[in-house]
Amino acid sequence: MSYTAPVKDMLFVINELAHLDRVSALPGFEDATADTAQAVLDEAAKFNADVIAPLNFEGDKNPSTWRDGEVVATPGFKEAFRQFGEGGWQGVVHPVEYGGQGLPKLLATPCIEMLNAANLSLALCPLLTDGAIEALLTAGTEAQKQAYVPKLISGEWTGTMNLTEPQAGSDLALVRTRAEPQGDGTYRVFGTKIFITWGEHDMAKNIVHLVLARTPNAPEGVKGISLFAVPKFLVNEDGSLGERNDVHCVSIEHKLGIKASPTAVLQFGDHGGAIGQLIGEENRGLEYMFIMMNAARFGVGVQGIAVAERAYQKAVAYAKDRVQSRPVDGSAKQSVAIIQHPDVRRMLLTMRALTEGARALAYVAAAHSDIAHRHADAAVQAEHQAIYEYLVPVVKGWSTELSIEVASLGVQVHGGMGFIEETGAAQYYRDARILTIYEGTTAIQANDLIGRKTLRDGGAVAKAILAQIDRTLGELEGCASFSSNPAYRSLHKRLTTGREALASAVEFMLANAKSDPNAVFAGGVPYLKLAGIVLVGWQFARALLVAEEKHAEDKSFYDSKIATAHFFADHVLPQAVALEASIVSAKNNEGMLALSEDQF
Amino acid sequence: MSYTAPVKDMLFVINELAHLDRVSALPGFEDATADTAQAVLDEAAKFNADVIAPLNFEGDKNPSTWRDGEVVATPGFKEAFRQFGEGGWQGVVHPVEYGGQGLPKLLATPCIEMLNAANLSLALCPLLTDGAIEALLTAGTEAQKQAYVPKLISGEWTGTMNLTEPQAGSDLALVRTRAEPQGDGTYRVFGTKIFITWGEHDMAKNIVHLVLARTPNAPEGVKGISLFAVPKFLVNEDGSLGERNDVHCVSIEHKLGIKASPTAVLQFGDHGGAIGQLIGEENRGLEYMFIMMNAARFGVGVQGIAVAERAYQKAVAYAKDRVQSRPVDGSAKQSVAIIQHPDVRRMLLTMRALTEGARALAYVAAAHSDIAHRHADAAVQAEHQAIYEYLVPVVKGWSTELSIEVASLGVQVHGGMGFIEETGAAQYYRDARILTIYEGTTAIQANDLIGRKTLRDGGAVAKAILAQIDRTLGELEGCASFSSNPAYRSLHKRLTTGREALASAVEFMLANAKSDPNAVFAGGVPYLKLAGIVLVGWQFARALLVAEEKHAEDKSFYDSKIATAHFFADHVLPQAVALEASIVSAKNNEGMLALSEDQF
C-alpha cells in the first residue's frame, strides 16, 4: 500500500517540458530554481510517503463519523493534518505576506499531486481551503484577508465551498439560500447546502464556509447570487474565536469512495440565522466562485493524475510479484511473473502512458498560469492566460476520465484479488469515480471548453495551439532519430492525424454553434477527450525532442520515455479519428434528440 | 430501484434476429414457439420484478454473513430462492427426464438475463448450479446423474465449481488439491480452494462441490487434473442426506461488489479427508471443467448485459425526473429534465446501444448453440457449433467490458447523487467490476479467441462470419431505405469499414502467430473488442433489415431501433479503426516487451 512519488518524472516535466527556467525568470519567482524544485519535491515525497500515505487505506476502512452534529475524522488524520500545516504545505503557492511560500503553481502542482496520491480523502481538505484562500484574496477586504487567510494557510483553520443545494447542482441559477442584511454590516444566512466536502470535522479549530446565497430583492438566476464568509465559530476583533455560529452539520453521506472525507449536509440559520460577511460586491458571487472553481477544477484534474499514479504503482508491484502461466512465446517452461505477459504489459503501459501524459499537460498548464500572473508584458500575460483557460477544462475532464479507466485497469491487473477490498486496488476504482462529477461534471467541462474557450474567441486560442503543434511536428520530422527510430515516426504520423482531427472538430464547433447547438454540444465530451489525447500526444512529441538531445545523459530514463511515447502513439492516439467521427456525425442526421422521452 | 424486463426488445431479438422459428423446427424443441416465448418471458419478467429485484439493494447493504463455518444469506434470499426452484426456473434449459423443462438456450438466456438484472448476487447461485448440472450430464455415470441432477434442478440442492487455489488462478496447471483413492470407489480429497461462489450458504439443503484435484502419480500440469463431486452432506443410497462431509468454509471475502453472494474459502480434508466421487475419467478433469466453464462464460456475458440493462433503466428514470439547467438550443426559458440535454442523451444512448447490441449478439449465439445440439445434420451441427464457440469469448469479454462502462455512465448521469450509495447506481458500478475477471479474465477470453477460435482452423470460422457480414451489407445497400434514411447509409458505411478492420486483424493474427506471438497476443483484447463492435454492428444492420420490412407494424418501436442503430454506427463503430491500428502496430516495433521490469 506504499506510495513513492515519481520525483524523477515530475522533475523531467517541470524542467524540460514546462520550462521552469522561464518561470524562475519571472519577477518574484527568482528562488524557484531547479535546485529548489528538487529540494521541495524530495521533501514533499518524503512527507507524503511517511505521514500521509499510510492513512489512506485506514480512512477507507474507518471513514469519518458523524454524531450529534460533530464529525470525527479517521484516527490519525488530525495529527497528520497538523504536520501538514506546520510543514507549510498549505501555503506553497500562496503569498509570503500572508504566511505562504510564494512559489510558482508549477512547483505547487507536484506537491498537490503527491498529497492526493498519498491520500485523496485527506487532500480534499487542503484543496477546498486553497479555493477559499483564492476567493478571499481576490474579493475580500484587507480586513477579511487578515482575519482569515493567515489561519487558513497555517492549517489552524480550513475552508469550504458551499454551492450545491438539493435542487441546485450543476444549475446554480436555482440557488435558494438567502442572506438578510442586519444593518451592522453582517448578514444572517438561512438555507441548506449539500455535498459540502470537509464541511464539518475535528482537524482544525475553525472552518470558514464560503457560501452562495441571495440577498433580498436580488435578481433571479445566477446574476442574483452573492458570496458570504460564514465561519463555524465567529471571530473576535482580536482574532480569537467567539461564539459558535448557527451553521450545523445535520448528516454526512454514505459514499462509494473518498470515504474518509466527510461530505456534509449543512443547515444554516435554523436557530436564528448564521452570521456571515459579504465577500466582494453583492450579486457578483458567481464570478468569485468561478475563481475558486477554476483553481479547484485544475486541482481535481491533478487528483485524477494522482490516483492514476497510485493505481499504476500498485498494479506494477503486483504484476512483478504474481507468478502465473508460461510465456506465450515459449521462452520459458515455467510460469513467470505476470508482468511478462503481453496483455498485462498492455494494461500497465496504458496506465502509465495516460498518467504520464496527463501529468505533462497539467504541469505545462501550471507554467502558463505562472507566466500569466507574473510576466512583465501584459500581452504575454493575456496570451498565456488564454492558453491556460483553454487547458483547464481539458486537464479537469480528461485527467479524471482517464483516472477511472486507469483505476479499473489496476483492478484488472490484480485479477480476482483486485475485487477483494483488503487488496486495496478497489479503493482507487471507487475513489476515482467522484472526480468526473464534482467541481463540474465532464459535460460541464466540455460546455466550458466549447462555449467560453473555443467559440467566444472564434477559435483563436485553439488555432494558436494547433499552430504550436505544427511546429513541434516539424521539429520531430527534422530530428536525426526520425529515420532511425520507429517511435519518432509513429508518433509523428499519429499526432499529425490527431491534429487534423482536432482541427476538424474546432471547425465543426465554429461552423455549427449557432445553427445547430444541440449537435455541437452533443459532441462536447468527445471534443474534450479529443483535445486531451492530441494535447497529450503533443507533450510526448516534445518529450521525444528532449530525448533526442539528452539521451546519452540518462539512457534508461529516456528509453522508457520513448517506449511510453511510442505506446501512446500506437494505442491511444488512434482514438482521435473515432472521436472526430463521433463529433461531426451529429450534424445532418436526426441527432441525439430524435427519440422522444417515452422511447427511452 | 425497480426493474422491468425489456420483454419487447428480447422478443424482437428472439424472433427476428435469432430466428426462433428455426430453433422450434428442431427435434425436441417443437413446443418452443413464439407464443411459448412470450408466455415464458412474461412469467419470468413478473417473477423477477416482484420477488427477486426488491432484494438487490438489500443484499448490498446486508451481505451474507459467516459465523463458525456457517453462512447465512441476506434476509429474504432463502425464501426467494425457494420460489425460484419451485417455479422451475433452474430447469428451463435442462432435460425433461431429470425434471427440467427442456427448452432451447435461446429461451433460457432471456430468463437468465432477467434474473441477473434483478439480482446479480442471487443469480450467481443458479449460474454455478447450471455449470454443475452440465458437467454431471456430460461426464457423470447414470447413477451420479440420478443422485444429483434432479435435486439440483429442483433447487433443493445447489452446485459449485472449485478451480482456484491461492497459487492457481488463471493457471490451473498449478492446482495442488489431491484426491486419494479409498479402494471402495470413493476418494479422499485434501486441499484449499478459494473464490468459491456460493461455496457455503443456507439457501439449500445440500451443496454439490465439483472439485479439480490430482490423483496420486497423476501427470504434472493440466493433464493430471481430475474432477470430483464432493457434496457438503454425503448422500445415502436412498437419496437421503447422510453425514456432514469434511469440507468447511473457513471464511468469506470482503468484496467490492456482489456482496450478497458469499465467496468462500473452502478447506477440504482437515479432519481425515472429504469423501468425493470421481466424475468421468481420471485426468480428464480440465476437459469436463471446460464444459462447465463454457456454459458459465456465456452466462457471465449475459450477466454483463443484465447489469447494463439495470443501470440503463435507473439512469433513464433519473434523467426524466431530475430538472436542471435550460436547454442549450434556447428552446425553453426554464430548467428542463436533464434527459433533454445533449450530453445526457449521448450517455443514455451509449448505454442503450451497447446493451441492446450485446443482447442481440448473445441471443443469436444461443440460437447457434441450439442448432448445434439438435440439428439432424451433423455437418450443420458442426458449422453452428464452430460459430457458437467463436462467439462465446466475444459475448463473455465484450459484454462484460461494456457493462463496466455502462454502469459507470449510469453513475455519471446521476451526478453527485450517483456517488451516494443510497441512490443505488454505484452498486452496479461495483457489481459489474467482477465480470471481466471471473470465469476467465478478458485477456483469457482473448487468448481463447485467438488460439482455439481463430488460429486453430486457419481463420475459417472468422472468414465465414465475415462473408455473412458481407451478405448483410449487400442487403442493406439494396433496400429502399438506403437512399431515404441516413441511418441506413451511416451504418452501411461504418460497418463496411469495421468489417475491413476485423478482416485485417484476422489476417494479422494468422500471419504473425508463429513468428511473433508476443505481438499477436498483445493485440488480443483489442481484437476481442473489435470483434465485439463489428459483430454487434452486424446485428444492428440485420435489425435495420427487419425494420425495413416491418416498420409499419410498430412505428415507434422500429424508429427507436433505427435511432439506436444509427447512434451505434456513428459513435461506437468508428472505434473499430482505432482498435485495428492498435493491433497491427504491435508488429515491427520494439513491442510491449521492450521495457525491462526495472523500467516500470
B495-554 tens-digit pLDDT: 999 999 999 999 999 999 999 999 999 999 999 999 999 999 999 999 999 999 999 999
Residue A316 identity (one-letter amino acid) = V
Is the alpha carbon torsion for A428, A433, A439, A442 positive or negative? Answer: positive
- Domain locations in chain B as residue ranges: 449-588
Residue of B nearest to A437 (CA): B415
Q: Which residues, in sequence order, are CB contacts of A471 under 8 Å at separation 6+?
A: none
How many Cα atoms sit within 13 Å of B288 on the Cβ side? 30
d(CA B247, CA B244): 8
Q: Give the C-alpha separation, B543 to A474, whole Å.
A: 48
Contact state of A420 with B348 under an 8 Å Cβ cutoff: no
Q: Does A486 touch chain B (CB under 8 A)?
A: yes
B551-586: pLDDT as tens digits: 999 999 999 999 999 999 999 999 999 999 999 988
Q: Could you identify the residue written with the cell 469440507?
A: B247
Q: How distant is the Cα of B342 from the closest Cα of chain A, in angstroms? A: 5
Give the confidence band of B295 by pLDDT, cuts at 50, 70, 90: confident
Q: Side chain identity at B532, as an amino acid letter? A: G
* pLDDT tens per residue, range B191-203: 999 999 999 999 9
What pLDDT, on the 0 to 100 scale, is given for residue B290? 85
3-state secondary structure of A458: coil
Distance CA A421, CA A423 (A): 5
Mutation target among B222, B412, B434, B485 for the A interface, most CBs of A within 10 A: B412
For residue A590, the model assigns a pLDDT of: 60
pLDDT digits (tens, 9 = 90+) for B13-66: 999 999 999 999 999 999 999 999 999 999 999 999 999 999 999 999 999 999
Say whether pLDDT at B590 is over 70: no
Q: Read off the pLDDT of residues B348-399 as tens digits, 9 standing for 90 and up.
A: 999 999 999 999 999 999 999 999 999 999 999 999 999 999 999 999 999 9
C-alpha–C-alpha distance, residues B489 and B493, integer Å: 6
C-alpha closest to that of B301 among B122, B435, B444: B435
For A287, B9, B129, the CA distances from B301, given in Å and listed in that order, are 49, 18, 17
How far does the CA of residue B507 sit from the closest CA of chain A (Å)? 19
Q: Given CB atoms, is A4 within the 8 Å cutoff of chain B?
A: no
Euclidean distance between CA atoms B59 and B80, whole angstroms: 12
Q: Give the ipTM.
A: 0.97
Are B347 and B315 spatial neighbours (Cβ–Cβ below 8 Å)? yes
Chain B CB within 8 Å of residue A325 CB: yes
Q: What is the pLDDT of residues A457-484, one digit of tens each?
A: 999 999 999 999 999 999 999 999 999 9
A29 phi and psi angles, rounded to 5 deg: -110, 20
> Which region among A328-337, B90-99, B269-278, B454-463 has the lowest average model confidence (pLDDT)?
A328-337
Please report which confidence band the pLDDT of residue B589 belongs to, taking 50, 70 and 90 as the band edges: low
Q: What is the spatial distance between Cα A460 and Cα B14, in angstroms, rounded to a whole number? A: 53
Facing A254 at nearest CB: one of B330, B422, B581: B422
Tell the CATH topology of A7-65+74-154: Butyryl-Coa Dehydrogenase, subunit A; domain 1 (1.10.540)
Residue pair B241/B234 in contact by the 8 Å Cβ criterion: yes
Cα→Cα distances A290→A134, A282, A286, A388, Å: 10, 15, 6, 15
CATH assignment, A158-283: 2.40.110.20
- Using the beta-carbon criterion (under 8 Å), do A433 and B429 form an inter-chain contact? yes
Task: Give per-residue pLDDT as tens, B105-143.
Answer: 999 999 999 999 999 999 999 999 999 999 999 999 999
Distance of CA B156 to the CA centre of its chain: 24
CB atoms within 10 A of CB B480: 9
Q: What is the mean pLDDT of chain A?
A: 96
Q: Report how far residue A196's alpha carbon sits from residue A393's, in angstroms, rounded to the nearest whole number.
A: 22
Query: Distance between CA B302 and CA B312 in Å, rounded?
Result: 15
CA distance B78 to B52: 11
Nearest to A557 by CA among A179, A15, A1: A15
Q: Quick one: three-class SS letters along A427-447?
A: HHHHHHCCCCCCCCCHHHHHH
Chain B residues near residue A521 by CB distance under 8 angstroms: 328, 341-343
pLDDT at B458 over 70: yes
With CB atoms and an 8 Å threshold, state whether A560 touches B408.
no
Closest by alpha carbon to A509, among A463, A468, A470, A578?
A: A463
For A335-484, strand residue ranges (E) read none
Alpha-carbon span A151 to A232, nearest angstrom = 14
Confidence band of B465 (pLDDT split at 50, 70, 90): very high
Nearest CA to B26 out of B368, B370, B385 is that of B370
The total number of residues shown for chain B amounts to 600
Instruction: Say whether A589 and B487 touch across the interface (CB within 8 A).
Output: yes
Backbone dihedral region for residue A204 (phi beyond 0: left; psi -120 to 50: alpha; all else: beta):
beta
The DSSP bridge pattern shows strands A157-162 and A186-197 to be: unpaired
Chain A touched by B595 (CB under 8 Å): yes
Interface of B with A in 449-468 (CB under 8 A): none
Chain A CB within 8 Å of residue B418 CB: yes
pLDDT of residue A592 exceeding 80: no
Residue A570 and residue B582: Cβ atoms within 8 Å?
yes
User: CB distance B173–A335 less than 8 Å?
Assistant: yes
Coil/strand/helix, residue B453: helix
CA distance A144 to A546: 47
Longest dimension (CA), chain B: 85
pLDDT (tens digit per residue) in A41-51: 999 999 999 99
Helix or strand (DSSP H, E) at A561: helix A555-571
Please give the pLDDT value at position A588. Answer: 60
Fold exhibited by the domain A289-584: Butyryl-CoA Dehydrogenase, subunit A; domain 3 (1.20.140)
Q: What pLDDT, on a 0 to 100 scale, did the predictor assign at position B374?
A: 97
Q: What is the pLDDT of residues A341-377, one digit of tens each?
A: 999 999 999 999 999 999 999 999 999 999 999 999 9
Q: Is the pLDDT of residue B588 over 90?
A: no
pLDDT tens-digit readout, B266-277: 999 999 999 999
* Chain A: residue whose CA lies nearest to B512: A329
**Active-site residue set of A:** 439
Rounded-to-5 percentages of helix, strand, coil across chain A: 60, 10, 25
| Mean pLDDT, residues A68-91 taken together | 98
Alpha-carbon torsion, ordered B412, B415, B417, B423, to 10 deg: -30
Q: Identify whether the C-beta of residue B128 lies closer than 8 Å to the C-beta of residue B163.
A: no
- Region of residue B241 (left: phi > 0; alpha: psi -120 to 50; beta: else): beta
Measured between beta carbons, which residues in chain A are less than 8 angstroms from residue B341? 443, 521
Beta pairing partners, A152: none
CA–CA distance, A85 with A159 (Å, rounded to integer): 13
Read off the pLDDT of residues A398-423 as tens digits, 9 standing for 90 and up.
999 999 999 999 999 999 999 999 99
**Is A216:A180 a contact under the CB 8 Å cutoff?**
yes
Q: Which of B151, B277, B161, B168 is nearest to B206 (CA)?
A: B151
Residue A298, classed as helix, strand or coil, is helix
Best of A222, A265, A328, A596 to substitute, by most chain B Cβ atoms within 10 angstroms, is A328
Query: B254 touching A, CB under 8 A?
Result: yes
pLDDT grade, residue B477 (50/70/90)?
Answer: very high
Closest Cβ opposite residue A522 in set B343, B589, B592? B343
Q: Tell whether the model's pLDDT for residue A589 goes beyond 60.
A: no
Indicate the angle between helix axes A105-118 and A34-47, nearest 10 degrees. 20
Q: What is the reported pLDDT for B291?
A: 82
Q: What residues of chain B, 165 to 204, have a C-beta less than 8 Å from chain A?
A: 167, 169-171, 173-174, 195
Q: Give chain B's mean pLDDT.
A: 96
CA distance B485 to chain A (A): 9
Q: Which residues of A touch B324 (CB under 8 A)?
A: 169-171, 174
Q: How far apart are CA A38 and CA A35, in angstroms?
A: 5
Of B165, B439, B548, B580, the catalytic one is B439
